[in-house]
Amino acid sequence: MDVVMKKIGISMGIYMSLIMSFFLALTGMGASGHFNIPGFIVSFLVSFMISLVISFLVPMGKVNKSLEMKHNLRPGALKTRGIEALVSNLIYTPILTLCMVTLAYFKAKNASGNGEGIPFIPAFLKSLGLCFIVGYILIFIFQDLIMKHLFKKYKINPGTGTKQGE
C-alpha cells in the first residue's frame, strides 16, 4: 500500500507541475506583453523543472494530511480543498514567480544592449499577485480532479484511503 501511495504522490507531483508550469508560464508571458513561442517554451521548461524539484522536496500529501489532522478538516470538503490550495499556492507560487521574473529580468537586461532592463520589484510584485490568483484557481480545481483520477487508476477507495476490495 505504501508503494501505491508513493506512486500516487509522484504522479500527483508530475501532473501538478505540468499544469502549474504550463498555465503560469502562459500567464507570465501574456502579462509581460512580449509573448513569443520560444520564450514560452523556455519559461515552461524552467518552471516545470523547478516545480518538480519542489514536489520532491515538499510532499504535499503529507502537508495536507497534517493540515487536516491539526485543524480537524474533512478530506475533500470544500473548506479543506480551499485551505490545501492556499497552502500549496504559498509554497509553490513565490518560488516559481521569483525564478521566472528573475529569468525575464536578466533576459530583458541583456536584450536592451545598454544593460538597462525592466524594474525588478514592480515586475515581481505584479507577477506575484497575478500568479497567486491564477495558481490558487488552478490548484483548487486540478488537485482534486487529479487525485480522484489517480485513486481510480490505482483502485484506492477515496473515503478510506485503502485498496478497493480490502
**Residue type, position 85, single letter:** A
**Distance between CA 125 and CA 49 in Å, rounded?**
22
Report which of 156, 132, 164 is spatially closest to residue 75, judged by C-alpha positions.
Answer: 156
pLDDT confidence of residue 138: 96
**pTM attached to this predicted model:** 0.86
Taking only the tens place, the pLDDT of each residue in 121-139 is: 998 999 999 999 999 999 9
pLDDT of residue 54: 93
Look at residue 142 in the predicted model and tell me its pLDDT. 96
Q: Amino acid letter at 39?
A: G
What stretches in the chain show pLDDT beneath 70? 1, 114-117, 159-162, 164-166
CB 24 within 8 A of CB 96: yes
Side-chain half-sphere CA neighbours of 152 within 13 A: 6
d(CA 41, CA 39): 5
**If we measure between CA atoms, which residue out of 116, 86, 99, 76 comes closest to residue 25?**
99
pLDDT tens-place string over residues 21-41: 999 999 988 887 878 899 899
- Number of neighbours of residue 113 by Cβ within 10 angstroms: 7
Q: Closest by alpha carbon to 156, among 35, 3, 4?
A: 4
Report the C-alpha gap between 166 and 151 in whole angstroms: 15
Q: Where are the domains of the chain?
A: 2-153
- Alpha-carbon distance of 42 to 114, in angstroms, equals 24
- Residue in the structure block whose three cell numbers are 477515496: 158
156: burial class by Cβ within 10 Å (0-12, 13-18, 19+)? buried
